[in-house]
């Protein structure tokens, strides 16, 4: 019976991490997860988060911790410094993963996660692929507007400058950014004009 359950877990053992909810959906109970931990077939890497002992490490090891952090925050969206880093719009280094959640959502503070409560969590949400994981993240334009709202002016201006200098698909859409700024009630027009003259 237990070996049959381990077979049910096989697809999950190939990914960087999985949750107890994923395991239950595959027909494996919490008691069996505990049993497999004792057998060293899987390891617990966070509250309700597991990985197979032979699971591949995330393709981009720099962001493996971000993938794990996102699994801990239900309904979270990668934002601010973490999003700026992923988009190469900052030179700042942070030890915490910045994750936006709804104003009404509760989440326990952890040393590795910086929670930012936001009212409009749907505006500008897209996804980014890191290894085998797809993470919700604010697009470049929303991230820059949020930088003006939550971060230092220096950080926001640097992100805007880098964004306007990028080419092709990585270049920011100024019309979209102005629309976001209007919805979020942030006056960035003078900065955009100064950067694009």
Query: Does 115 lie in the same domain as 24?
Result: no
Query: Does 97 lie in the same domain as 20?
Result: no
- pLDDT digit string (tens) for 17-68? 777 778 888 888 888 878 878 877 787 766 677 777 776 555 444 567 888 8
Across 161-179, average pLDDT: 91
Query: Considering its fold, how many domains does the chain have in total?
Result: 2
Mean pLDDT of the chain: 84
Spatial separation of the C-alpha atoms in residues 124 and 45, rounded to whole Å: 31
Query: Does 67 lie in the same domain as 16?
Result: no
Residue 179 belongs to domain spanning? 61-196
Lowest mean pLDDT among 6-20, 115-129, 148-162: 6-20
Query: Does 167 lie in the same domain as 104?
Result: yes
- Residue 84 has phi, psi (to 5 degrees) of -60, -40
Instruction: Please name the residues in contact with 195: beta carbons below 8 A apart, sequence gap of 6 or more.
Output: 157, 160, 161, 164
The residue count of the chain comes to 197
Query: Does 114 lie in the same domain as 26?
Result: no
Kindly list the distances between the CA atom of residue 66 and the CA atoms of 23, 85, 115, 194, in Å, as whole numbers in the listed order: 21, 11, 13, 34
Burial class of residue 143, CB neighbours in 10 A (0-12, 13-18, 19+):
buried
């Amino acid at each position: 019976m237990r070996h049959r359950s381990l077979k049910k877990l096989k697809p999950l053992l190939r990914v960087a991490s999985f949750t107890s909810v994923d395991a239950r959906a595959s027909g494996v109970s919490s008691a069996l997860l505990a049993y497999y931990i004792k057998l060293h077939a899987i390891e617990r890497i966070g509250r309700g988060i597991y990985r197979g002992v032979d699971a591949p490490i995330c393709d981009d090891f720099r962001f493996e911790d971000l993938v794990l952090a996102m699994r801990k925050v239900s309904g979270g969206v990668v934002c601010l410094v973490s999003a700026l880093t992923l988009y190469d719009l900052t030179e700042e280094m942070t030890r915490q993963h910045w994750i936006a959640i709804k104003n009404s959502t509760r989440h326990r503070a952890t040393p590795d996660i910086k929670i930012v409560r936001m009212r409009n969590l749907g505006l500008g949400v897209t996804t980014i692929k890191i290894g085998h994981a797809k993470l919700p993240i604010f697009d470049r334009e929303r991230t820059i507007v949020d930088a003006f709202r939550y971060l230092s002016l220096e950080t926001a201006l640097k992100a805007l400058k880098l964004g306007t200098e990028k080419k092709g698909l990585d270049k920011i859409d100024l019309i979209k950014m102005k629309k976001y700024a209007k919805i979020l009630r942030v006056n960035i027009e003078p900065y955009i004009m100064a950067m694009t003259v």
